[in-house]
Chain A
Amino acid sequence: MVKVLLFGEAKRILGRDSIQIEFKGSLKALKEELAMKYPEISPVLNISAFAVNKEYKNLEYELKGDETVAVIPPVGGG
């Protein structure tokens, strides 16, 4: 299972901080699958970065199926 962590707007919209999903494939495909299953967070997904096991990865990154993926909306620390 891939564990998807949600923060900021995505967390607020869905009212939960994570999603468990059976998935294998690229981050890009995961993003598309999430957008299909949860269309209400699609706009957030489109402006978010993604981290796999706490490291930023680009959308071509291939998931094996047991990772923790974080959806990272535009950050605003400081």
Chain B
Amino acid sequence: MVKLTKEKINEKELIENLRNEEGGSVVIFLGEPRKGKDDGDVSSIEYTAYEEMAIQELKKIEEAALNKEGILDIIIVHRLGDIPLKETSLFVGVSSRHREEGFEIAQWIIDEVKKIVPIWKEIKYERNRNS
């Protein structure tokens, strides 16, 4: 399942959806907006997307990942809009027979999302100062 959402991501519910009787491993990655040490008073990070294309690219990533040996299920959810620090912007979950392929594919998915999916971020500062 792949999704773009403006709502807060419910990680627990997504994890439950990844449990599989044939699986021995669920690997989860949670991406969060990050404040660099020289960024000052960051209040949130705003994510925008070319949504129709982003969904299409996410589906391609999902399809390629599901074709790998031992992978049972994939969930990729990217949140858009203003995301406060310490909340999830990207959820990647991989259900697999064994942990090795789970970690490997999760890493691959994250790299692909960051490299090709048309999503952008802009740092929002407190006191309405924009970068």
Contacts and interface: CB of A to CB of B under 8 A. Distances in A.
B114 A78 contact: yes
A55 B53 CA distance: 7
Interface residues of B, number: 23
Given A7-B118, A70-B118, A77 B47 contact: yes
Contacts of B113: 77-78
Tell me the dominant secondary structure on chain B's binding face: mixed
Given A77-B90, A77-B114, A78-B113, A54 B52 contact: yes
Nearest to B49: A77
A56 interface: yes
B78 A77 contact: yes
Interface in B40-54: 47-50, 52-54
Interface of A: 5, 7-8, 51, 54-56, 70, 72-73, 75-78
Given A7-B50, A77-B78, A77-B113, 6 more contacts: A7-B118, A51-B118, A70-B50, A70-B53, A75-B114, A77-B49
28 contacts: A5-B50, A7-B48, A7-B50, A7-B118, A8-B48, A8-B122, A51-B118, A54-B53, A54-B56, A55-B56, A70-B50, A72-B50, A73-B120, A75-B120, A76-B119, A76-B121, A77-B47, A77-B49, A77-B54, A77-B90, A77-B114, A77-B117, A77-B120, A77-B121, A78-B89, A78-B110, A78-B114, A78-B119
